[in-house]
A and B are shown apart, each in its own frame.
Chain A
Amino acid sequence: MAKNKGNFLKSMKNFKVSRYTKVTAFIPLVILLAAIIVVVALGTTGAGGVRKGSYTDAVGIGIDFEGGTILTVTLGEDVENDYEGNARNIIDTIEGFGVQVSNYQKQTANNAEQNAIQFRYKNVDTDDNAINERNTNIREAVNALYPDRPNNVRYESIGATAASDLLNKAGIALAVSVALILVYIIIRFTLMSGFAAIIALLHDVVIMFCLTVICRVQINTSYVAAMITIIAYSINNTIIIFDRCREYLKPLKGQKNIDYNGIGDMAVRDTFTRSVYTTLTTMVTVIFLAILGGETIRQFCVPIILGLVAGFFSSVFIASPLWAAMSASFDRTKEKYAKRNEVTYEKDDEGEEQIVAKSIKGGEVETIRVKNLTAPSQSKPKNNAVYKYSKKNTQFKKKK
């Protein structure tokens, strides 16, 4: 395995991320579009246990946030005898009524006769009468499965178990951490690194959310937390790449026309092995969890795995080209601004040297001409030299 990868990674030697920006910018847009299509399609048609016209359902907001119904079926010793079989049976009956069971669990009491299985599902109706009617029908149908246990089914409506402000708090936390992370990156790296990293982070948030919607995972409290972990790891990846950029940029400090794209490409290339290895090592355990786990666990793992891929993608293909483009245009703007207040030397009508100071104030060019009394130096700075990164100026010598 290692050998093959070595060859593959070797072939990456001349890989330039900055050449594929058109393709790479396209991919997240496709995912976003797919998610929007899923939400709109499900929301308007009302397929797949989604209330017609309810876009929160289509997004997959779980029972944690909205509440629903708990149906308790008392089965006595049958619970222990054939838990899964009974549960499957009842779920099929319940789902025949157009609702989707979110989860089910065993209920055991001191008296084994009281043992029961409870099922939770989100209501698909909006008004209380309709909810009651559907629940009554479900109760009758489930009751009919067990003719020798009359009145063994009861239902109860439950409210949201998640703190109603969970999403608000998560939103605030996201905003605050984005701000703090931005400040940290600006201090440790550059202004543009900060913005590029934050855009990559926001990309991850959006893509994780889209993947969740597309995979139809119910968004519950702890899923929100799992999403946050993925995003945190992705920003870590981005920083490792920016660290290389920072290192390659060090000897070029103060130069003009820096080849940012070249530096970004090189940073991506040099960290590529590490990016691949790390993504694989983080993914491998979750992949096994998905393989070994049941349906619910798998449903949860798939978007996590895809999220890791998205994090890898944003760090490698989005962050560095973005950083290069933004840094280059930032430099150009700075230069332009500097030119506005440029001092040049011109010869006036009489052939005498004059210092000409131009400054732009409120759109008008103000020109001040002063007779040059000292001998002018004619050497202008060479603005069009492109400074490329070369091996020689990377050897940092540190004093011990």
Chain B
Amino acid sequence: MFIYMEVLPVNKKKSIIVLSVVAVFIILMAVFAVVSFPIGDTVYDYNGYARTIKLGLDMSGGVSAVYEVVPDEYADLDVRVTGTISSMQSLLVSKGYTEATVSKGTNSNGNTTIRVEVPDVDDPERVLDLIGRPASLYFTLEETDNPKDVAFINGREHLENAYVTTDDDGNYAIGLKFNDAGAAAFATTTSENIGSTTYIYVDGQLMMRPTIQSAITNGSAIITGNYTYDSAYEYATKLQSGTFGVTLKQTEVRNISATLGENSVRIALIAGAIGVGIIFLFMILVYRGLGLAADLALCVYIVLLLWFCAVLPWVQLTLPGIAGILLSIGMAVDGNVIIFERIKDEYGHTSKPIASAIKNGFKRSTAAIVDGNVTTLIGAIVLWVLGSSTVVGFAVTLFIGIILSMFTCLVITRLILKCFVPLNSRSAAFYGLKRYEDAEDAASGKSADGVKVAVKEEA
């Protein structure tokens, strides 16, 4: 990218074209962020991508569903409830609802309940689609009306996870992961019955009859068939909800409002707009033409950030998430400030023309910007890999913010400035630059302990 830009032949005409492209890009992205319209003759509507950014329970509310755990004859109900909660949680996270909460409670009758709260969903029925309708899962070797009695695998006891995967030929398949007991049972049964058919029952219904092709001893298996991604996904979800170790009875489904109040989103937007406006003004006042380039780059940053937040599934904005984005806009300016201070130094202390001061300013600040951002990036990646669900959503936002801020200041600001130079290569006032006087340099250049100040600051 950098190399490409070094050789980019820039003249006035090209500069105007490039600047217009940047401007059009910003305007189009901004418009598409907010407008909604029906698409042609189809039944689909286009919704502004900024409107599709998912929000957390504190900002937008959602749906809350309460399930009562039906006491049964098996032991360790508490352990199974905990297991159910964690599998519901991971199911929701896998569908992008990183801010959903699942908690255990006790209602006034003294029964154990599981409360599921899913943000950013309007229709209570959707919750059921999301966590699946909890169902029983049995594997048997014979076709039967009562699979529970002859099952060698029981979802409640044996299955750990079910997910969509692909087989060796690249067709969609359902992956199964058994726990230790399940792996042992599955290994024994499959090694003794190669060639026979297994029957998989979900909620008493025969769902599949795969043939055992080989002994499976590692505790995982895939079921192949003519699946599309959607059908494989549906089965996987059903199988996984079959692993819920308890029988659940839905007692209540309600819409819930934002815990931060109804207008919290509006407040965040207004605060963001004012803050960004001040940043824009500040950059232009302090750095003039350079600041103008930074502001354009910042526009690119903001629209790209919004777009990524809308399309990436892990991003679900809570108040801290929004605060994080607001902070990141401030940080995106940072790279520009570092570069511009260098350009001022380069111009002030030498007799270089503006174009080469800009070029050198970029060159000498790149290491600092990259090093500073890489350290932050390391933190974000570690959180992404090791953090729990809520933190993952945040780490992703941070990650995008850092990458985009590096991209906008090192590539976009540079591109825009490269276009400014042919249009105006003489006026130091436009760029807010001035040569430092040697007299001033010498006078302030010596500090008390004799250290010579080489590079001095002029704000």
Q: Could you tell me the distance in whole angstroms from the C-beta of A306 to the nearest C-beta in chain B?
A: 13
Q: A156-B106, A236-B376 are in contact. Are A289 and B383 (CB under 8 A)?
A: no
Contact B368 A292 (CB under 8 A): no
The CA of A286 and the CA of B448, in the complex, are separated in Å by 40
Contact of B327 among A14, A233, A296 (CB under 8 A): A233
Q: Could you tell me which residues of chain B, from 245 to 261, have a CB within 8 Å of some CB in chain A?
A: 253-261
B312 within 8 A of A: no
CA distance A277 to B291 in the complex (A): 13
Chain A residues near B395: list those with CB within 8 A. Answer: 225, 228
Return chain A residues, CB-CB under 8 Å to B157. Answer: none
B46-71 interface bits toward A, Cβ cutoff 8 Å, 1 = contact, 0 = none: 00000000001010010010100000
Cβ < 8 Å to B, chain A residues 218-243: 221-226, 228-233, 235-237, 239-240, 243
Tell me whether B456 and A297 are in contact (CB under 8 A).
no
Query: Would you call A125 an interface residue if the criterion is a C-beta within 8 Å of the partner chain's C-beta atoms?
Result: no
Q: Does A274 contact B (CB under 8 A)?
A: yes
Interface residue count for A (Cβ, 8 Å)?
104
A374, CB-defined interface residue at 8 Å = no
- Cβ of B7 within 8 Å of any chain A Cβ, yes or no, is no
A25 close to chain B: CB less than 8 A: no
Asked if A273 contacts B459 (CB within 8 A), the reply is yes
Q: Are A163 and B388 in contact (CB under 8 A)?
A: yes
CB-CB < 8 A to B282: which residues of A?
A: 1-2, 277, 280-281
What is the CB-to-nearest-CB distance from A83 to chain B, in angstroms, rounded to a whole number? Answer: 8
Q: Are B272 and A270 in contact (CB-based, < 8 A)?
A: no
A162 partner residues in chain B, CB cutoff 8 A:
101, 388, 390
User: A301 contacts which chain B residues (CB < 8 A)?
Assistant: 323
- Interface stretch, picked from B174-182, B204-212, B331-339, B412-420, is B331-339
B285 contacts A1, C-beta separation under 8 Å: yes
Q: Is the CB of B454 within 8 A of A389?
A: yes
Report B53 CB to chain A, min CB distance, Å: 16
Task: Give the nearest-CB partner of B266 in chain A.
Answer: A292
Contacting pair B103 A289 (CB below 8 A): no
Q: Does A160 contact B (CB under 8 A)?
A: yes
Whether the Cβ atoms of B275 and A221 lie closer than 8 Å is: no
Least CB distance, B427 to chain A, in whole angstroms: 19
Q: Please report the C-alpha to C-alpha distance between residue A240 and residue B339 in the assembled complex, in whole angstroms.
A: 11
Q: Pick the interface stretch among B37-45, B107-115, B137-145.
A: B107-115
Instruction: Tell me the complex Cα distance, A105–B393, Å.
Output: 23
Give A195 to B304 CA distance when docked, in angstroms: 36
A289 touches B452 (CB 8 A): no
Q: How far is the CB of A324 from chain B (nearest CB, A)?
A: 12
Q: Which residue from B64, B108, B388 sits with its C-beta under 8 Å from A165?
A: B388
- Is B327 a contact of A108 with CB atoms below 8 Å? no
State the CA gap A295–B286 with chains docked (Å). Answer: 34
Q: Which residues of A contact B195 (CB under 8 A)?
A: none
Docked complex: B370-411 residues within 8 A CB-CB of A: 371-376, 378-380, 382-383, 386-391, 393-395, 398
B positions within 8 Å CB-CB of A: 56, 58, 61, 64, 66, 86, 89, 99, 101-108, 113, 115, 117, 253-261, 264, 267-268, 270-272, 274-276, 278-279, 282, 285-286, 318-321, 323-324, 326-331, 333-334, 337-338, 341, 367-368, 371-376, 378-380, 382-383, 386-391, 393-395, 398, 444-445, 447-459
A-B contact pairs, 10 of them (CB 8 A): A107-B254, A118-B256, A222-B56, A222-B321, A226-B394, A231-B379, A232-B398, A244-B368, A304-B323, A391-B453
The 7 closest A-B pairs by CB, nearest first: A285-B275, A282-B330, A106-B257, A225-B394, A226-B320, A243-B368, A285-B326
